Amino acid sequence: MSEKNTSIILSGSARHDGDTEALVKQIQGFTAWPHIELNQFSIGHFDYAYENQGDDFLPLIKKLIDQYDRWILVTPVYWYAMSGAMKVFFDRITDLLTEHKDLGRMLRGKSMAVVTVSHGNNLGDTFWLPFSETAHYLGMHFLGGLHTSVHAIESDALQDFIEKLNE
């Protein structure tokens, strides 16, 4: 059951009601995209022995694969990178390359875009690389990234970014 261009916001803050949540609400002001907060799930670090297959990762990734074609990843910048919660989620996608290859193949053709938030404006050029290259590796389309600053949430830039995604 897959609808074309069905989007989901997947956020990765370490807190429920912080700056990332405010950014998600802002995005939802322009869209009807549903929101899943990684912090609400119990997702263990990647385990070479796959002993964490009973945690929340598998049901979550199945839902994302079955119901959504476009993932809008929203992450705070923690130490010049995506948040730990988002990175753990990325690491666990490795499960789909080994234990659940059928699911991994279903990622092909899907898309991801990224919106970030932090206090600064100091993202280096390589910040987007883990997203773009992971997407490429998985056969997903990387639709681009937008950084926003807590101090100056650029509503116009955000709206433009979302409109471009919808073109």
Residues at the interface with ligand FMN (CB under 6 A):
13-15, 18-20, 76-80, 117-120, 122, 150
Q: How far apart are the first and last CA of the chain?
A: 23
* Nearest approach, Cβ of residue 21 and ligand FMN (Å): 6
Q: 140 CB contacts (<8 Å, ≥6 apart)? A: 107, 108, 109, 110, 111, 112, 134
Number of residues that this document lists for the chain: 167
Q: Which residue is nearest to ligand FMN (CB)?
A: 18
CB of 62 to ligand FMN, least distance (A): 26
For 77-140, list the strands marked E by DSSP: 111-118
Identify which of residues 38 and 96 has a Cβ nearer to ligand FMN in the complex.
38
Least distance between ligand FMN and beta carbon 105 (Å): 33
Nearer to ligand FMN, 39 or 111 (CB): 39
- What the block records as the tokens of 3 is 């609808």
* Least distance from ligand FMN to the Cβ atom of residue 63, Å: 23
- Cβ distance to ligand FMN smaller for residue 15 or 164: 15
Residue carrying the six token digits 């666990």: 92
Smaller CB separation from ligand FMN, 65 or 72? 72
DSSP strands (E only) in the chain: 7-11, 35-37, 70-76, 111-118, 141-149
